[in-house]
Structure 1
Amino acid sequence: MTDTQITDAADRARAAIARHTRLVPDFPSPGIAFKDLTPVLADAEGLSAVTTALAQAGGDIDLVAGIDARGFLLGGAIALQLGVGVLAIRKAGKLPPPVRSADYDLEYGTASLEVPADGVDLHGRRVLVVDDVLATGGTLNAAIGLLEAAGAVVPTAVVVMEIDGLPGRDAVESAHRDLVLTSLAAG
């Protein structure tokens, strides 16, 4: 893949994001302006452009981990492109025990993420973490920490959109200094 091809894929993805993203005021709580990427992913060209650009940013990896829930959609498509497997990082209570879990803060509350403690050996595997939106960095930091606690190496994380004015990038980069963090668009 040449630098020109990578740039072209990212440009197509940014155009699809700009064209299809829907702004939903006061969701999930008053004062939050939710950037809904559902229309981007529902558009065949948008989904293709976004997943191709994210896959190209992924680097040399063994597994893709998609964060609940839009990260599942993206992660599966990216994993197929890269010829690797996919792991769902779930919200609490969605996986059968035993699980590994991590609590974290959101911009509007707290939550917990889980991965299987049995059945998927993560030790030493290079894992690409995928999410739709980077806001405060809590979700992404929890996911990376959870995978690392299970023995994985997380060299790369990718997101479709990074919310302007929120400290997500700084929070993630200060917690994971060697991580390559790629965002396709700002919003």
Structure 2
Amino acid sequence: MTFHIENTGIINQSDTKWRDSQNYYGRVSRTLHWLTAALVILQFSVVLAWRGTGKNTVTLFLDSIGPHGSLGLLILVVTLVRLYWTWLNRKQRPPKAPGLGGRIASLVHMAFYMLLLFLPAFALLRQYGEGYEIRLYGMTMLPAAERHIAWMVAPADLLHSPLSWLLAGLMIGHIAMALIHRFWFKDNILARIAG
């Protein structure tokens, strides 16, 4: 999609629905946000179902929809696209809240992006370093390494699980704060991303 600039130097009205503005997030930002949320929730659902009930019809079904490695790779790709889109819209996004609350929100969002980048990256490094191929829903994206590569495996062995639980905690806090803004503060913070 291209964005047309009229002779007046103003972006066409139809294009503003797709791009961010000072008042709300555009369709692309909202779609990327909710796609990320769905992928991460599915990822945790699959992991928790396997840990809680082991191999059964439900866990095999969930795993067929969202194999752990494939979901991780998708989360990494969507996060990279989100970062690029955020950078393109950096001068026209809704402003952060002033004061301490705004600074905390900015730090939490930065932590989200870092976790959504590093968690799948560490896991993919570990998978490749352990001699397995990188696959996306059955398609080989990177052939298997021929040997065990310890430096690729070590970061994920050390950090993947604790950082995953940190991400889960941040998600719960993020959802709670969105609901607090909507029902207690009665502001439009949730509406800006909900559409």
TM over 0.5: no
- Structure having the higher helix fraction is 2
- Structure having the higher strand fraction is 1
Higher alpha-carbon Rg: 2
Higher relative contact order (CA 8 A, sep 6+): 2
Q: TM-score, normalised by structure 1?
A: 0.32
Q: TM-score, normalised by structure 2?
A: 0.31
